[in-house]
Amino acid sequence: MTWLITGGAGYIGAHVVRAMTEAGLRAVVLDDLSTGIAERVPDGVPLVVGSTLDADRVARALAEHEVTGVVHMAAKKQVGESVERPLHYYRENVEGLRVLLEAVTAAGVGSFVFSSSAAVYGMPDVELVTEETPCAPLSPYGETKLAGEWLVRATGRATGLSTACLRYFNVAGAARPELADTGVFNLVPMVFQKLTEGASPLIFGDDYATPDGTCVRDYIHVVDLAEAHVATARALQASPGRALTLNIGRGEGVSVREMIDTIHAVTGHHRPLAVAPRRPGDPARVVASADRAAAELGWKSRHDVHDMIGSAWSGWLRLHPEAARD
């Protein structure tokens, strides 16, 4: 069985490619390299440079590599940018998916795994977010992920395509330093950047109804996330016609203040914190229920927050050696 991983040269995508090949699954990568890095793709894994919007390129890749399953991770994913460029996000994330699904069904591919997001939930007022929690996304990015789920599930019902929509929570860490996230858009690298500059890490709001006043999130190690994709691929292969929608998280909440305290401890850099006003649309708490993923896949996360931060810091130091000096 050969799996096409779209966006497989990206941060998360490269980890999924690594996990699948180490599990003995054949992989081929489709990536337009707009944010992906070709060197992340392992030796022996074919790299097709192209966009999911290019129907001919996609169809050729499916045929030439005899693809039998797809993991679709190629997408634009910055919430703020999506607010500023909603048409761009709908074109890349929704139209790109439609073109891909059309090619997949025409080629007779049997399994499809869609990279979704906890952003589909918006601001859930619950202790644990289950897959039945109502979806009310707050940004065009979240809307495109929810629309993508609808499109994937509808295609599965109409064609018999086995599908899985995986809702990622907050991803951090790295399997190896060279696979670390190079962007500075999420909490961990944003704090790393401030510490490297000798500046104070920012907390956006410290007056939430949480134990320490800061937002609480569910953080998942990218290695665990990648292993969840392997388990999903095998589940779809074993049971044709399945339609899964699963949260991929640890089921444990960690506050922003707790994360920063752990970052200080791991890195050895200690800076006073600066409190900024709340950001619009930031919910107080978003923590996954991971029970369904455990039941359906036999999968459970293995790494804790300390593992995530330690591995992410090693990757940061590879690109920013000056950060090793306090």
CA pair distance 193, 198, nearest whole angstrom: 9
CB atoms within 10 A of CB 67: 25
> What is the pLDDT averaged over residues 243-252?
97
Residue type, 296: E
Structure tokens at 4: 């096409």
Closest CA to 174 of 319, 27, 288: 319
Contacts of 78 (CB under 8 A, 6+ apart): 141, 185
CA pair distance 236, 175, nearest whole angstrom: 25
Q: Percent of the chain scored above 70 by pLDDT?
A: 99
pLDDT value at 160 more than 90? yes
pLDDT in tens, 299-316: 999 999 999 999 999 999
Query: What is the 8-class DSSP label of residue 114?
Result: E
Closest CA to 285 of 170, 157, 126: 126
Quote the pLDDT of residue 179: 96
Instruction: Name residue 26's beta-bridge partners.
Output: 2
Q: Please give the model's pTM, rounded to 2 decimal places.
A: 0.96
pLDDT in tens, 19-40: 999 999 999 999 999 999 999 9
More confident residue, 53 or 324: 53
pLDDT value at 280 more than 90? no
pLDDT value at 326 more than 80? no
Asked whether the beta carbons of 248 and 283 are under 8 A apart, the reply is no
Q: In which band, very low, low, confident or very high, does the pLDDT at 242 lie, cut at 50, 70 and 90?
A: very high
Asked whether the beta carbons of 220 and 249 are under 8 A apart, the reply is yes
Domain boundaries, the chain: 2-171+220-248, 173-218+251-324
pLDDT value at 149 more than 70? yes
Q: Is 168 a catalytic residue?
A: no
> What is the pLDDT averaged over residues 231-257?
96
Q: Give the class (CATH, top level) of 2-171+220-248.
A: alpha beta
Q: Which of 11, 121, 141, 219 is catalytic?
A: 141
Quote the pLDDT of residue 230: 98
pLDDT in tens, 81-100: 999 999 999 999 999 999 99
Burial bucket for residue 44 (CB in 10 Å: 0-12, 13-18, 19+): exposed
Q: In this structure, which topology does domain 173-218+251-324 adopt according to CATH?
A: UDP-galactose 4-epimerase; domain 1 (3.90.25)
pLDDT value at 325 more than 70? no
CA distance from start to end of the chain: 49
The greatest distance separating any two alpha carbons of the chain, rounded to the nearest whole angstrom, comes to 58
Q: In which band, very low, low, confident or very high, does the pLDDT at 281 lie, cut at 50, 70 and 90?
A: confident
Asked whether the beta carbons of 157 and 243 are under 8 A apart, the reply is yes
pLDDT in tens, 97-130: 999 999 999 999 999 999 999 999 999 989 999 9
> What is the pLDDT averaged over residues 146-174?
97
